[in-house]
């Protein structure tokens, strides 16, 4: 029945009046707008991933011991590692005598290898495909990594010249239909990103996710991985992480790089190691340590939708709190990717 202010209304046998149709339409628009606003808030995946922060004042610290402590805090057990084949992927870019802020320090690579072996890993290898210098052996020698690997008989694989295998681009962030990974990756159980804590001229910051550019073989992607740059750096980072699904990340922040990274910047002592199973959680934690808002880093903000937590409330911080180790890295206004990143 229609109803007025003082009594019941009778049903309109002809349906909506013109005015009723107008109000219904406006109501539908309002509901749609509300839905667009609320949908990601209601249905966004609720992440809960831990990230471990350890203080390490310099490279003489017991890095293997700190990483083992991190394993324990993160729930990585000896049973999980025993007999596994572990690939450590450091950040090896260029060398300059005494420039410990450019590459993952050999002491961190050594410490990571020893930590995995202590937990019973069956085999540990180090592998990298440098993007700037084609002479990987020269980089190994000048960085000090060759001596460390030789002393401990840890094999090294140059991923730039490794035979490739093709896989579909399941991320679909870039226009690349397929991705080509080195065959070595199919022969290991864990891929561990051993990144460096650095600013980046094009991506804003480079951490464990961006570090994975180095697994893409140069014989397919060029130098400095030009195909990935043309496809879009942020998009390619996300595509690689989606397809590769690395198992762990350790970021060398004992001495990082600020300013015009990842090569031309200056040393920035931060005195930390950051690690975890989920790369977006690790990188978001690193960003906050650097005084960078992870939600303003394009690839990190997007990773928070599909790959792992970026919101602080969804990251379980273990070890040291972020506030106790935060040290703001220099950001340059002349670099567009740095603008607006400050936390």
CA 265 to chain centre: 20
Q: Whole-angstrom Cα distance, residue 150 to residue 148?
A: 5
What is the full DSSP assignment across 172-237?
Answer: -SSS-SEEEEEGGGGG-SEEEEEEEEEEETTTEEE-TTGGGGGGS-HHHH-TT-HHHHHH-HHHHH
C-beta separation of 266 from 330 below 8 A:
yes
Identify the CA nearest to 237 among candidates 187, 280, 272, 184: 280
Ordered alpha helix ranges (H), 77-190: 78-81, 106-118, 136-143, 145-152
CA angle 6, 11, 17 (to 5 degrees): 95
- CATH annotation of 48-338: 3.40.50
Query: Cα-flanking dihedrals φ and ψ of residue 160, to 5°?
Result: -60, -30
H/E element, 34: helix 18-43
Give whole-number Cα distances, 141 to 98, 102, 145, 342, in Å. 13, 15, 6, 37
Q: What is the pLDDT of residue 39?
A: 43
Q: What is the pLDDT of residue 134?
A: 77
Classify the C-alpha dihedral 142-148-149-151 as positive or negative: positive
Q: Taking the model in full, what pTM does it have?
A: 0.87
Identify the CA nearest to 276 among candidates 321, 310, 324, 317: 317
Burial classification of residue 86, based on how many CB atoms lie within 10 Å of its CB (0-12 exposed, 13-18 middle, 19 or more buried):
buried
Q: What is the pLDDT of residue 6?
A: 37
Q: Whole-angstrom Cα distance, residue 72 to residue 331?
A: 35
Q: What is the pLDDT of residue 322?
A: 98
Query: Cα-flanking dihedrals φ and ψ of residue 206, to 5°?
Result: -125, 125
H/E element, 275: strand 266-276
Q: What is the pLDDT of residue 45?
A: 67
Q: What is the pLDDT of residue 111?
A: 97
Query: Cα-flanking dihedrals φ and ψ of residue 218, to 5°?
Result: -65, -30
Residues near 62 by beta carbon (within 8 Å), at least 6 away in sequence:
111
- Domain residue spans of the chain: 1-43, 48-338
Q: Whole-angstrom Cα distance, residue 99 to residue 95?
A: 7
Q: How many CB atoms lie within 10 A of CB 234?
A: 22
DSSP helix/strand/coil, 271: strand
Q: What is the pLDDT of residue 44?
A: 55
Q: What is the pLDDT of residue 117?
A: 97
Show the low-confidence residues of the chain (pLDDT under 70).
Answer: 1-45, 97
Q: What is the pLDDT of residue 99?
A: 83
């Amino acid at each position: 029945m229609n109803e007025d202010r003082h009594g019941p209304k009778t049903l309109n046998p002809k349906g909506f009046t013109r005015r009723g149709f107008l109000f219904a339409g406006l109501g539908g628009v309002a509901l749609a707008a509300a839905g667009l606003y609320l949908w990601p808030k209601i249905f966004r995946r609720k992440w809960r991933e831990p990230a471990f922060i350890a203080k390490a004042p310099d490279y003489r610290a017991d890095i293997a011991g700190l990483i083992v402590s991190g394993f324990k805090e993160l729930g990585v057990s000896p049973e999980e590692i025993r007999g596994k084949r572990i690939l450590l992927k450091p950040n090896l870019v260029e060398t300059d005598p005494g420039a410990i802020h450019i590459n993952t320090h050999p002491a961190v690579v050594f410490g990571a290898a020893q930590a995995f072996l202590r937990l019973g890993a069956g085999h540990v290898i180090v592998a990298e495909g440098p993007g700037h210098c084609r002479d990987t052996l020269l980089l190994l020698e000048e960085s000090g990594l060759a001596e460390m690997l030789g002393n401990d008989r840890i094999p090294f694989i140059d991923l730039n010249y490794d035979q490739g295998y093709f896989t579909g681009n399941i991320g679909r962030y870039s226009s690349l239909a397929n991705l080509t990974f080195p065959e070595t990756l199919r022969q290991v159980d864990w891929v561990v990103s051993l990144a460096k804590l650095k600013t980046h001229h094009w991506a804003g910051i480079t951490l464990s996710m961006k570090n994975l550019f180095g697994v893409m073989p140069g014989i397919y992607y060029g130098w400095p991985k030009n195909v990935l740059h043309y496809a879009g750096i942020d998009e390619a980072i996300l595509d690689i992480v989606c397809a590769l699904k690395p198992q762990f990340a350790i970021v060398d922040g004992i001495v990082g790089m600020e300013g015009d990274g990842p090569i031309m910047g200056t040393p920035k002592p931060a005195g930390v190691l950051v690690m975890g199973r989920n790369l977006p959680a690790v990188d978001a934690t690193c960003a906050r340590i650097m005084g960078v808002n992870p939600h303003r880093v394009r690839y990190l903000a997007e990773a928070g939708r599909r790959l792992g937590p970026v919101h602080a409330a969804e990251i379980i911080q273990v070890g040291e709190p972020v506030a106790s180790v935060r040290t703001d890295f220099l950001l340059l206004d002349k670099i567009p990717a740095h603008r607006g990143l400050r936390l």
